[in-house]
Structure 1
Amino acid sequence: MTHSLLQVLRHLERRGHDALVVAPRSGPIDRTLYGAEPVLLPSVPLPSYPDVRVTLASTHKLATILRGHEADVVHLASPFVLGWRGVLAAEAADIPSVAVYQTDIPSYAERYGIPGAAPVLTRHLGKLHRRADLTLAPSTSALDRLESLGVDRLALWRRGVDTERFAPGRRSRRWRREVAPDGEIVVGYVGRLAPEKQVEDLRVIADLPGVRLVIVGDGPDRPALERLLPTAHFAGFLGGDELARAMASFDVFVHPGESETFCQTIQEAMASGVPVVATGAGGPLDLVHSSRDGWLYRPGDLAELRSRVLDLTGDDAKRRAFSVRAREAVAGRGWDRLGDELIEHYEGAVALRRATRGERVGRVRRTRDAVSRSAVGERAADVPTSAPIASPRWRRYVAVGDSLTEGLCDASRVPAGEYRGWADRLAMLLALTTPAAEQVGYANLAVRSRRVDDAVTVQMPHAVGLGADLVTVLIGANDLVGRRVEPDALADRLDAAVRKLRATGCDVLLVTPFMPRRPATRLFAARFARFNARLRALAAETGSMLVDVDTMPELVGHDRWAEDRVHLNSAGHRGLAYAAARVLGVPDAQELGALERAVHAVEPVDEVSDDRTVGDLEWLRRHAAPWIVRRLQGRTAGDGRVAKRPDLLPIAVAADPSPGPTPMRRARRLG
């Protein structure tokens, strides 16, 4: 955070701007502020973390300081305590404020074991950012987090990386000999040694054969971590060129923290040509492309963390390939570019305040750098922050797949014996956000128990025949749980079919197949992981979009499965539909999802709903036994069945008599 702020000050100086830094006093300033004038206020240490200082300066005092500087804009760096006073002072001085969201304080409170603090801090966080004229978030997950708190004046502003300082050429044999004298593979972590970083999770890789774990950083948890990880090398705090040398000398970089809004050290590792293993939550989702320049693992799954690190430490060729791609992934992310973007945000906030003097500004449409939330593949170039997200353009949508896409166990608000499913819900969202004068045609070709062969030989050619301009594909789970299966061969079959679809000009949204997280499913985990890695590569190579369920564990939580334990319940289908909608760039998908969740949260659970759970004996009788019988007889549940919606039919959307229908208003009518 400090490094980012110093880079901003350096860029402002280069562009001829005058900066004033208001901060808690915590000792002498030992770094250049690039011409910025410092105002240091009395502060006290945070009891549980004395390196963090807190100041309670009055709003009047801060407003006086801002007026004295004749400030054009107030930059609130990681605002919370001083930042709250700062946003009030900016209002009092009639100066636009730009808040930079960098730290998930409520999550930190939970890690520090402060009982009952998280809800209070969450409310404060939302109130502060709603008060600012503009909030800049560093990642798509941070945007989602802030939107869930009702913050609507948002824009995406990532972090730059010094690609000259952090570079593969900094790699040092001497440094490696000092930390790994026996020539071990060096796996490193860089960051604070504090509860929110979850460094203790690294215990699962500390005993890997031929691996030396190196921990760079300092903080309150260091004594405990040294006891927990006696074989690790603790290098202490490093900065500047020392840090760059250490980073480039790693073979693998690992970061287990689940509360990162961005994670700058991941970028620095990638710039250094070091592949990354990080948790699939928060900021790392936007930085690490699984199976290309590193791996993301499911949050909390330490066995997967260990296996991902082992995968890279045990394969020199893969590690070298990932290293090259890691460096390529951060090309063009220099601080000059990000600094100019920040100044544009400042100018936008100033223009908004001038245009709406005396009243709160309206919504600033946030922007993302691509419609895909894939954990692999190159993202599209950033669009200007003032550009709105384009409305979906598709008018002929066809869904391809098996029982999940057919919608089994999603019986919400449909006649008995029928199912909705995530694809039906997605089609409705597309229709809701399409101009009233146009219609969306929708066909669902999915049939339960179908496999990849049926999808590529029957369903996908049918989609081409229907003239589809959007096809969603969720297939493969039935193949992958079979007795004999080669995930690569299976992926090759799907690869060829997707390329044919793309050659017609059709857009394709791939969804990685998934399983419930139960002990029995671990038998197939490696197959699913291999197949999904190929899907990520396919999406990147063909320009397809991707819903990577592995990186969104909330979609397959224990509460998302139906009574039969193998299909999603209504909540699961809703979650997958809105995840797909966000990938497609459906306007207001986040708000529509929150609205539907709110509606269903107050509805009683139907006693005959498929969302309920049953005991093991009842489950065996009702679900497992019939499946076993069918398998023994060589039958499937889909034998003799045809697609429920084989032709393109228009989606009926209820008319709204109120003027100027918006997606939210029309959705309210459907509720």
Structure 2
Amino acid sequence: MRVVDVAEFYSPTGGGVRTYIDRKFEVAARLGHEVFVIAPGAQDSFEPRASGGVIQVRAPRLPFDANYRMFWDAGPVHRQLDALAPDLVEASSPWRGAAIVASWPTRTPRAMFVHADPVASYPQRWLAPVASPQRIDQLFGWFWSYLRRLTSRFDSVVTGGGWLADRLSGQRVRDVASVPLGIDRGAFSPSLRDEGLRSRLLAACGCSEEARLVLGVGRFHPEKRWPMMIEAVTRARDTAPLALVLIGDGIDRVRVARAAAGRPHVKILPPIHDRPLLAAHLASADILVHGCESETFGLVPAEAMASGVPVVGPDRGGFAHLAQPATSEVYRAGDLTAATDAIRRLLARDPVALRTAAVGAAPGVRQDVDHFADLFEHYRSIAASAHA
């Protein structure tokens, strides 16, 4: 089948959405499907891919993030959709791109893939000190009403995991389907552990071989809570010697650098785009720490789990669905003391038994090829029903 994804947040310099869509191109080619992405860009262009290509439509820059642009006129996108004549159209954000897809005047089946929960990512984080998540959902009822109206014009609303599916269904969004995400498991393995790399990273943090190597990977964005995780690891050093290596960059880099300042046991590294090198870093860590409670699946924790690494993460969001008692510790989301205690609990476990359990659980992490196979089958069934 031919699927066209109107991807508002696909950018060559983007993060998770770019990684996900690039992988979708690869798997679609293996499964015999065509995928075209229509994305806002600096100029009109076309980039061929194995199973289709990326069509950039000239659009203005997003004011608060130079990595992205935003759709404006519906006409250019509709003309591309007319020319491609897809079997199904996917919108992968609930904003202007989805409105453009909804207004395309054809009977072509369409699905909205909801990759994020903006209420959990922003107001529930900002207002956490003064209001419960439930109360904040009530205060932002206007957003849920908007989303219900918008998604009523789609044949299906897809999420990448059960946590967000439950969130949307709880807000009376209809026709929600959970198609759990996965990872490129072939790229991550406990066998990639490199003791030499581990030693170099510990030395960069001024720590000896006896220290535990803690890793954090991801965008430097407020929702990732890196300053909190730096403080939690620092406090947990009263239990055992710890080194913390953060890999990433982003709009929150100043706060992250300020949190790490004066702490030689914390080392900040730039993003690693070389997948084998990133996989080696993950496999060489002793613990992964995760602070974001609004991610819909938790790709980095899943990659760490596939690498045989125990994970400490929040009790809300996608990670909470991935966490396994034998290899993980969870804490109350956004709570520094709870995060510190979770790290301490993990450190109190027998390290050999913990490592054995984590390595043994690695093969059970869901693969992304299974996610995409299920996704295309879901889209095929939608298209078939529309033409029945």
Q: TM-score, normalised by structure 2?
A: 0.82
Matches within 5 A, 1:139-154: 139-154=161-176
Residues 298 and 88 of structure 1, relative CA distance in 2, 3 Å threshold: same
Provide the aligned length of Structure 1 versus Structure 2.
Answer: 348
Structure 1 segments unaligned to the other structure (5+ residues): 356-671
199, 212, 221: which is aligned to 2:226? 199
How far is the alpha carbon of 1:337 from its aligned partner?
Answer: 2.1
Q: Aligned partners of 1:286, 1:112: CA distance in 2, in Å?
A: 20
For residues 88-138 of structure 1, the C-alpha deviation after alignment (integer angstroms, 9 at most, x for no partner) is: 22xx12211121111112333427969x99554443333333321111112
Letter in 2 for 1:197: K
Corresponding residue number in structure 1 for 2:368: 335
Contact 1:200 1:225 in 2 (8 A): yes
Corresponding residue number in structure 2 for 1:106: 119
Q: Aligned partners of 2:364, 2:385: CA distance in 1, in Å?
A: 34
Letter in 2 for 1:305: A
Letter in 1 for 2:251: P
Matches within 5 A, 1:209-608: 209-230=240-261, 231=263, 232-239=266-273, 240-289=275-324, 291-314=325-348, 315-330=350-365, 333-355=366-388
Structure 2 segments unaligned to the other structure (5+ residues): 1-16, 128-135
- Three-state SS of the structure 1 residue aligned to 2:234 is coil
Contact 1:106 1:122 in 2 (8 A): no
Residues 196 and 63 of structure 1, relative CA distance in 2, 3 Å threshold: same
Contact 2:38 2:57 in 1 (8 A): yes
Q: Aligned partners of 1:177, 1:56: CA distance in 2, in Å?
A: 50
How far is the alpha carbon of 1:167 from its aligned partner?
Answer: 0.9
Corresponding residue number in structure 1 for 2:200: 178
- Three-state SS of the structure 2 residue aligned to 1:45 is coil
Contact 2:162 2:178 in 1 (8 A): yes
Letter in 2 for 1:351: A
- Three-state SS of the structure 2 residue aligned to 1:307 is helix
For residues 56-112 of structure 1, the C-alpha deviation after alignment (integer angstroms, 9 at most, x for no partner) is: 231x332221121121111222442222212322xx122111211111123334279
Letter in 1 for 2:156: L
Q: Aligned partners of 1:167, 1:28: CA distance in 2, in Å?
A: 40
For residues 422-448 of structure 1, the C-alpha deviation after alignment (integer angstroms, 9 at most, x for no partner) is: xxxxxxxxxxxxxxxxxxxxxxxxxxx
How far is the alpha carbon of 1:255 from its aligned partner?
Answer: 0.8
Corresponding residue number in structure 2 for 1:162: 184
84, 89, 95: which is aligned to 2:108? 95
Corresponding residue number in structure 2 for 1:3: 19
Corresponding residue number in structure 2 for 1:40: 56
Residues 233 and 32 of structure 1, relative CA distance in 2, 3 Å threshold: farther
Residues 197 and 28 of structure 1, relative CA distance in 2, 3 Å threshold: farther
Residues 313 and 77 of structure 1, relative CA distance in 2, 3 Å threshold: same
**Are positions 1:21 and 2:37 aligned together?**
yes
- Three-state SS of the structure 2 residue aligned to 1:238 is coil
- Three-state SS of the structure 1 residue aligned to 2:50 is coil
- Three-state SS of the structure 2 residue aligned to 1:19 is strand
For residues 498-525 of structure 1, the C-alpha deviation after alignment (integer angstroms, 9 at most, x for no partner) is: xxxxxxxxxxxxxxxxxxxxxxxxxxxx
Q: Aligned partners of 1:127, 1:214: CA distance in 2, in Å?
A: 44
For residues 399-427 of structure 1, the C-alpha deviation after alignment (integer angstroms, 9 at most, x for no partner) is: xxxxxxxxxxxxxxxxxxxxxxxxxxxxx
Corresponding residue number in structure 2 for 1:52: 68
Contact 2:162 2:180 in 1 (8 A): no
Letter in 1 for 2:58: P
Contact 1:105 1:121 in 2 (8 A): no
Residues 179 and 326 of structure 1, relative CA distance in 2, 3 Å threshold: same
How far is the alpha carbon of 1:177 from its aligned partner?
Answer: 2.4
Contact 2:57 2:77 in 1 (8 A): no
Contact 2:117 2:294 in 1 (8 A): yes
Looking at both structures, which has the greater relative contact order when contacts are Cα pairs under 8 Å and sequence separation is at least 6? 2
For residues 354-393 of structure 1, the C-alpha deviation after alignment (integer angstroms, 9 at most, x for no partner) is: 23xxxxxxxxxxxxxxxxxxxxxxxxxxxxxxxxxxxxxx
Contact 2:212 2:243 in 1 (8 A): yes
165, 190, 194: which is aligned to 2:217? 190
Q: Aligned partners of 1:63, 1:27: CA distance in 2, in Å?
A: 17
How far is the alpha carbon of 1:244 from its aligned partner?
Answer: 1.1
